[in-house]
Structure formats: C-alpha cells, structure tokens
Amino acid sequence: QQPVQSPQAVILREGEDAVINCSSSKALYSVHWYRQKHGEAPIFLMILLKGGEQKGHDKISASFNEKKQQSSLYLTASQLSYSGTYFCGTEFWDSGGSNYKLTFGKGTLLTVNP
Amino acid sequence: EAQVTQNPRYLITVTGKKLTVTCSQNMNHEYMSWYRQDPGLGLRQIYYSMNVEVTDKGDVPEGYKVSRKEKRNFPLILESPSPNQTSLYFCASSLNLQETQYFGPGTRLLVL
C-alpha cells in the first residue's frame, strides 16, 4: 500500500531544478510531502487536498492529479539546504480496516552540490 | 512549545526483554501514529490511532502493541523484542489526516 516514488535518488548542482513523483494504486484524498535530513525527523513541506487546495511551502511547489492518483514535487533553483530525503504520504480509504489511512513512500534522496 | 516527545532516544536491549517507547504530544491532536524506518524501506506504519481508545494496525504491526488511554500519549510496546525489530522509530501526531504530521525526534533501537 506504500506509494511509489521516483526517482529513488537524484544529484543536482545548486540552481538546477528537480521533479519527484509519487503514484498510488488507491484513490487519494490528500498527498503529503516531507523532507528528512540525515538522522533527523521528517519535516512538513506541503499537503495537497482532493479538490485542489494546497497548503504549504512558498519556495517549493507540487501538483496533484486525482484522476491519475499521482503527485509531483517541483524544486526550482535548488539550494544546498534542499538536500535530504523526500517522502510523499498518501491518504486513502482502507476498505479492509474501514478507515482512512496515511502511508509513506520509500523516499527520494536528493543531493545538491555546489 | 508545540512538540512531540519520545523516550528513550536510544535503547540497546536483548531479545525477549519487554520494552516500552513513550510518545507524548502537547498539541491536543486527535491522530497519532508510529513508524519504523529502515534503510531503503522508507517510513512504514506500525499502528495508528484516530482518537482516544481507538487504535488500528498499520502495514507492519506484528510484534508490536499500542494503547491510547489519553489523548496526549501513545506508547509503543514490544512484548518480546527480536533482532529484526532493530530500527529507527518515529512517533507522529496531527489534528487529522489532512493536516501537518508532526514527528518526534526518533528512537533508535538495537535488539541483540
């Protein structure tokens, strides 16, 4: 039930752009994006809600295609501080448990070099 | 300060010795969850709780127990730890599933 993220890893030079994709086999109600520095807890970036509302970061953007059950995170003009592992989390209805669930992908390691 | 706290931060134990990792949040959040993080596997959910006295299994619940007797606390219990439970554990909380998840600092567990 984990969403699938791609690519698994990406290396950039400062100032370059990157796109990280997240796809699910489930109908989604929201998609979360988090960044984790090595040895630290994940930190919230943004949430995209079904219906188009977006909450989050002003320097990083994202899209949410509900029909395709996919989301993409766009990092433009990358900075050294963008380095880390990016996780998407997907909210879906779990019919087995009769509950909404939030599960995270395996992550995308982003390295920004000077 | 709004935060999620976990204790202990580091723990070395032996196979079969029961242990509890505590998680507490001071934001009056309804939703709390436990994850384990292993290299290459991302964040895998162990258990979650939508509210007091309501808990549900995540994707990897085997070998773990939880309880939610109070809104602020969500302890993770390993009744008989095994080496394959060696991992980095995170607790998280939020108002609901469509709000920010706040993660605790993590607990690094080694089971010998």
Count the helices and strands in chain B (H runs, E runs): 0, 11
Q: Measured between beta carbons, which residues in chain B are less than 8 angstroms from residue A89?
A: 43, 101
Pairing of strands B10-13, B107-111: parallel
- Indicate the residue of A42, A97, A103 with minimum beta-carbon distance to B103: A42
> Which of A22, A57, A106, A108 would you mutate first to test chain B, the one with the most B CBs within 10 A?
A106
Distance CA A62, CA B112 (A): 43
Please check whether residue B25 is in contact with residue B35, taking contact to mean a CB–CB distance below 8 angstroms.
no
Q: Is the pLDDT at A95 greater than 90, yes or no?
A: no
What six digits make up the tokens of B94?
A: 């939020």
pLDDT in tens, A30-68: 999 999 999 899 999 999 988 776 666 667 899 999 899
What six digits make up the tokens of A44?
A: 């919230």
Q: What per-residue confidence (pLDDT) applies to B98? A: 86
∠ CA(A94), CA(B70), CA(B1), 5° rounding? 95
Q: Measured between beta carbons, which residues in chain A are less than 8 angstroms from residue B59?
A: 1-2, 103
pLDDT band at A98 (very low <50, low <70, confident <90, very high): confident
Q: Is the pLDDT at B17 greater than 80, yes or no?
A: yes
Q: Measured between beta carbons, which residues in chain B are less than 8 angstroms from residue A87?
A: 42-43
DSSP letter at A69 equals T
Q: Is the pLDDT at A19 greater than 90, yes or no?
A: yes
In this predicted model, which residue has the larger pLDDT, B21 or A56? B21
Mean pLDDT of chain B: 95
Please check whether residue A54 is in contact with residue A108, taking contact to mean a CB–CB distance below 8 angstroms.
no
> DSSP labels for B11-62?
EEE-TT--EEEEEEESS--SEEEEEEEETTTEEEEEEEEEETTEEEE-S--T
